[in-house]
Amino acid sequence: MIPMLKIENLTVQVLDKVILKNFSMTIEDGEIVALMGPNGTGKSTICKVLMGDPTYTIQSGSVTYNGEDLLAMSIEDRSRKGLFLLNQNPLEIEGVSNAEMLRAALEARTNEPMNFFEFNKKITKICKEQNIPTSFIHRGINEGMSGGEKKKNEMLHLFILEPNLILLDELDSGLDVDALKELAEGLNTYIHEKHASLLIVTHHSAIFKYIMPKRVCVLKDGQIAKTGDYHLAEEILEHGFRYNEVSEKQNDE
């Protein structure tokens, strides 16, 4: 079976610095995978590359999404194919409401006008089910919102756009425990209903209390250094990222 996402020997450079070196990873349909590592190791680079950020230069390697060459796709096509980034710091876009953007995005996918009544019915229903203020519908995209409100706003986008592969870049950044739990519950609901895949990029395991990954991968020197199940995240939480390095050194001695 072809995996949903397959990254092979990917080397990525930003300016004069190589961030990822022969990085490889796969994500299957409906699978939840966590990518962990200390700050500055290149975890967020994966999200940027998958979403087509032109700042990052691909030196070598390949990325396929449902068997198609993802790196050859435009940013718009990647969105149409079902990729979605729930960003660490969502951008504010003044003068464009959530309703305007989301309706335009749906029309671009279908090449047909969106029924105004049906769209309003759907977006209002999502707001009520996910405890998102209905005022967000006609509010400027992330405009004047707190960190927690921005994450809720991104969840509104997710439920409307219905992606197949969700990238979470440091979701727990700037959120209190209650806000993180609420967002995680919404994600669990979506993943269960849509059988979507999820890549959790984080340096901390707090979110794993609410969203359990099937695999945990640890990034070191631009590559996957170790892979395990949830227990690997527990080891890191207790001992830190240097724990495995110390253990390996002691074994060698």
pLDDT tens string 56-101? 999 999 999 999 999 999 999 999 999 999 987 888 998 999 999 9
68 bridge partner residues: 65
Cα(163)–Cα(173) distance, integer angstroms: 22
Q: Mean pLDDT throughout 178-205? A: 92
pLDDT of 253 higher than 90: no
Give the separation between CA 83 and CA 247, rounded to whole angstroms: 38
Question: What does the pLDDT read at residue 248?
Answer: 46
Sign of CA dihedral 237, 238, 241, 244: negative
Provide the pLDDT for residue 247.
45
Phi, psi of 137 (to 5 degrees): -55, -45
Per residue in 210-248, pLDDT (tens digit) is 999 999 999 988 999 999 998 898 888 888 876 555 344
Q: Which residue has the higher pLDDT, 42 or 24?
A: 24
HSE-CB for 243 with a 13 A CA cutoff: 13
Instruction: Say if residues 24 and 8 touch (Cβ distance below 8 Å).
Output: yes
What one-character-per-residue DSSP string does 158-206 give?
HHHH--SEEEEESTTTT--HHHHHHHHHHHHHHHHHHT-EEEEEESS-G
Note the pLDDT of residue 111.
84
Query: Among 158, 148, 167, which Cα is nearest to 43's?
Result: 167
Amino acid found at 98: N
Of the pLDDT bands very low, low, confident and very high (cuts 50, 70, 90), residue 249 is: very low
**Residue 89 confidence (pLDDT):** 82
Q: C-alpha angle with apex 190: 208 to 63, nearest 5 degrees?
A: 75
Confidence at residue 137, expressed as pLDDT on a 0 to 100 scale: 96
Please name the residues in contact with 199: beta carbons below 8 A apart, sequence gap of 6 or more. 5, 27, 33, 34, 35, 46, 47, 165, 166, 167, 168
Domain 5-252 has CATH 1.10.8.60: no
Q: What is the mean pLDDT of the chain?
A: 90
Residue 2, number of CB atoms within 10 A of its CB: 12
The tens digit of pLDDT for each residue in 162-171 reads 999 999 998 8
Q: CB burial class (10 A; 0-12, 13-18, 19+) of residue 12?
A: buried
- pLDDT, tens digit (0-9, with 9 covering 90-100), for 114-171: 899 999 999 999 999 999 999 999 999 999 998 889 999 999 999 999 999 999 998 8
